[in-house]
Amino acid sequence: MFISKSMTRDVVTTDKKVNILDAKDKMVKCKIRHLPVVEHDNRLIGIVSDRDIRSAMPSIILHDYNSREERERLSRLKVEDIMTPDPITISPSYTLQDALLLLQQKKVGVLPVVDKNGILKGIVGVRDLIRAFINVLGIGEPGMLLGIVVEEQIGKMKEIVDAITEEKISFGSILVARYWDEEKRAVFPYLLTKDISRVKKKLEKMGFTLIDPLQWYLEQLPKTS
Amino acid sequence: MKRTGFLFDKRFLLHKTGPYHPETPERLEAIYKGIEDAGLLPKLTLIKTSRADLKWIETVHDKHYIDRFNDSCIYGHKTLDRSDNQMCSETYETALLAVGGILDTVNMVMKGEIDNAFCAVRPPGHHAESDRAMGFCYFNNVAIAARYLQMEWGVTRVGIIDFDVHHGNGTQHLFEQDPTVFYYSIHQHPSFAYPGTGREFEEGNGDGLGFTKNSPILPGQGDEAYELCIKNDLLPEFERFGPEVIIISAGFDAHVDDKMSDVNLSTKGFSWIMQMIVNMAERYANGKLISVLEGGYSLKRLPELAKNHVGILLNGGENVY
């Protein structure tokens, strides 16, 4: 779960002396929204986002885009003039969980990954986290989701895992949703199999309540009186 | 009355999946019995199977995978790739016979000896990927038939309609970059069903963008939802594409009484879908329609579903209720 496994390694970067219009072109071409700014030794000194660039551009409503002064002003603007210096960074030994919580707390779009000397090693953005989560959920592999309502009791999870393992079914993932009902949680094993009818029957026999997808579907429909 | 072919061979029963597995030889026996008891056999052109030439399997599957499958059977392995794919020493040969019979059927349709056909084969095929077995499937029967139609018979546009309750990931992946084969699938929503693919936004890619279409059905929905999707999703796409031949991946597991799914298609709903497809084949493909069995696990319902399916092929889509 270390971030070095989930980050993008081939980072598109820019020099601080680059004109902002060229930086913008680079972002559009590479379909990215953030450009880390690095020195020649790949040491991170800042980051520039597409929003930083847009803020520096004249408004098409208020300004005459093509006036000479505007063009001259824009051609003089360099990345270093608008970048965020010393952005929030993480180290390659950060975990996926660290990165998620930090992104949420700091309200930033990306986290550059740097080593202890400040050299850029990678970058983690929302897209990288989505990829990591698809991997964690196991949903890139064929399988079926089972939903089980479980009392908050030690040992219940073991019973479920044992019952499924006895059927020789492999796990893609297990998610636990807390507080499904009061004092109950919902367990969602994603099972790498096509046939879950037998394991469903078995779990019901053991006293577990399965979440019926039909019931679930009906409950989320808009209520009509 | 149409000249309808019926591919069935007792050797399709030789693929045994072991205890507690839903994909059993009894499924095929139930299908045969349903057709026999309805007195339809004398009206059908019975087709026996022959072993497929490996070169046709290789149009779709990786050579290493084919060898691996063969070796697994020779060494007596009980599964291939995943524990779902339970098999026996006869499975490889049975899979070759299934493909061979389907290709023979294609020849008969293309030579005009029959108008359409139902191929009651095992093992099924639509989950099989180019390089691995998946979801009880080993060789992708329908995909090989599509390639055969193109390479051997010069057909340029093949339309595949897959109404098995599970998405045909294998078939989709094999053709998603290919604008000459249109893949349409209607199935239980992937968040609630195997194999977890076949979402509305999977529409093909590259040159094949717009030549794949998926209609996911939520658990609890039935005839009405199917009718809506067939009319709104499938019809306009096939109108635009104009398939020269239509192949069906015919799975009967969307039936309300089938334990493998949570959608509620009725026997009548299945007939309605089949009539629509036969009408479409008439309109675009000069009636050329080849239906190939995929899933369907309710031994109680398979006889009536198979009987109606074949009955509609014979009647050319007239109302059979």
Instruction: Establish if B121 belongs to a structural domain.
Output: yes
Q: What is the pTM of this model?
A: 0.85
Instruction: Establish if B64 belongs to a structural domain.
Output: yes
Higher-pLDDT residue of B14, A69: B14
B20 close contact with A: CB closer than 8 A: yes
| Residue B168 burial (10 A CB sphere; 0-12, 13-18, 19+) | buried
Which residue from A12, A89, A84 is spatially nearest to A52, judged by alpha carbons?
A84
User: How many CB contacts within 8 angstroms connect chain A with chain B?
Assistant: 56
Chain A residues whose CB is inside 8 A of the B21 CB are 195
Within 8 A by CB and 6+ apart from B279, the residues are B317
Whether A65 shows a pLDDT value over 70: the answer reads no
**Domain ranges (residues) in chain A:** 3-135, 144-220
> How far, in whole angstroms, is CA B239 from its chain's centroid?
21
When pLDDT is cut at 50, 70 and 90, the band that residue A101 belongs to is confident
Catalytic-role residue among B15, B61, B126, B127: B127
Q: Can you give the pLDDT at residue B320?
A: 43
Distance between CA atoms of A200 and A203, rounded to whole angstroms?
A: 5
Question: To probe the interface with A, which of B20, B24, B27, B84 has the most A CB atoms within 10 Å?
Answer: B84
Distance from CA of A143 to the nearest CA of B (A): 5
Residue B196 and residue A193: Cβ atoms within 8 Å?
no
B103, B145 contact by CB (below 8 A): yes
Do the domains spanning A3-135 and A144-220 agree at the CATH topology level? no
Instruction: Establish if B294 belongs to a structural domain.
Output: yes
Residue B84 and residue A213: Cβ atoms within 8 Å?
no
Number of independent structural domains in chain B: 1
Local structure of residue B169 (DSSP, 8 states): H
Which of A40-49, A149-158, B98-107 is predicted least confidently? A149-158
When pLDDT is cut at 50, 70 and 90, the band that residue A75 belongs to is confident
Instruction: Establish if B321 belongs to a structural domain.
Output: no
Instruction: Establish if B17 belongs to a structural domain.
Output: yes
Please name the residue that has the structure tokens 């879908």: B273
Question: To probe the interface with A, which of B17, B192, B217 has the most A CB atoms within 10 Å?
Answer: B192
Give whole-number Cα distances, B170 to B93, B128, B173, B183, B206, in Å: 21, 5, 5, 11, 18
B167 annotated active-site: no
Q: Can you give the pLDDT at residue B200?
A: 93
Distance between CA atoms of A225 and B94, rounded to whole angstroms?
A: 56
Closest residue in A to B166 (Cα–Cα)? A194
Distance between CA atoms of B290 and B106, rounded to whole angstroms?
A: 7
Q: Which two tokens stand for residue B86?
A: 């339970």
As a whole number, the mean pLDDT across chain A is 88
pLDDT in single tens digits along all 321 residues of chain B: 999 999 999 999 999 999 889 999 999 999 999 999 999 999 999 999 999 999 999 999 999 999 999 999 999 999 999 888 999 999 999 999 999 999 999 999 999 999 999 999 999 999 999 999 999 999 999 999 999 999 999 999 999 999 999 999 999 999 999 999 999 999 999 988 999 999 999 999 999 999 999 999 998 899 999 999 999 999 999 999 999 999 999 999 999 999 999 999 999 999 999 999 999 999 999 999 999 999 999 999 999 999 999 999 999 766 443
Instruction: Establish if B320 belongs to a structural domain.
Output: no
Residue B83 and residue A213: Cβ atoms within 8 Å?
no
Distance from CA of B294 to the nearest CA of A (A): 14
Architecture of domain A3-135: Roll (3.10)
pLDDT digits (tens, 9 = 90+) for A171-223: 999 988 876 777 788 899 999 999 898 999 999 999 999 987 767 666 766 76
Question: To probe the interface with B, which of A141, A175, A191, A195 has the most B CB atoms within 10 Å?
Answer: A195
B82 close contact with A: CB closer than 8 A: yes
Instruction: Establish if B181 belongs to a structural domain.
Output: yes
Closest residue in A to B21 (Cα–Cα)? A195
Complex ipTM over 0.85: no
Distance between CA atoms of B23 and B253, rounded to whole angstroms?
A: 11
Q: Can you give the pLDDT at residue A181?
A: 75
Residue B220 and residue A217: Cβ atoms within 8 Å?
yes
Distance from CA of A195 to the nearest CA of B (A): 7
Distance from CA of B127 to the nearest CA of A (A): 10
Chain B residues whose CB is inside 8 A of the A193 CB are 82-84, 194
Distance between CA atoms of B315 and B321, rounded to whole angstroms?
A: 12
Q: Can you give the pLDDT at residue B318?
A: 64
What percentage of chain A exceeds 90 in pLDDT?
53
Q: What are the strands of the beta sheet with B212-217, ordered from one edge? A: B45-47, B4-7, B116-119, B289-293, B245-250, B158-162, B181-188, B212-217
Window B:83-102, CB contacts with A under 8 Å: 83-84
Residue A141 and residue B196: Cβ atoms within 8 Å?
yes
A143 close contact with B: CB closer than 8 A: yes
CB atoms < 10 A from the CB of A41, how many?
A: 9
Q: How is domain A144-220 classified at the CATH fold level?
A: Alpha-Beta Plaits (3.30.70)
B181, B146 contact by CB (below 8 A): yes
Which residue from A126, A128, A124 is spatially nearest to A111, judged by alpha carbons?
A124
Chain A residues whose CB is inside 8 A of the B22 CB are 195, 197
End-to-end CA distance of chain B: 16
- Among partner residues A192, A193, A214, which is closest to B220 by beta-carbon distance? A214
CATH, residue B64 = 3.40.800.20
Q: Identify the domain containing residue B300 by its residue range.
A: 4-314
Q: Can you give the pLDDT at residue B301?
A: 98
Residue A195 and residue B82: Cβ atoms within 8 Å?
no
Chain A residues whose CB is inside 8 A of the B222 CB are none
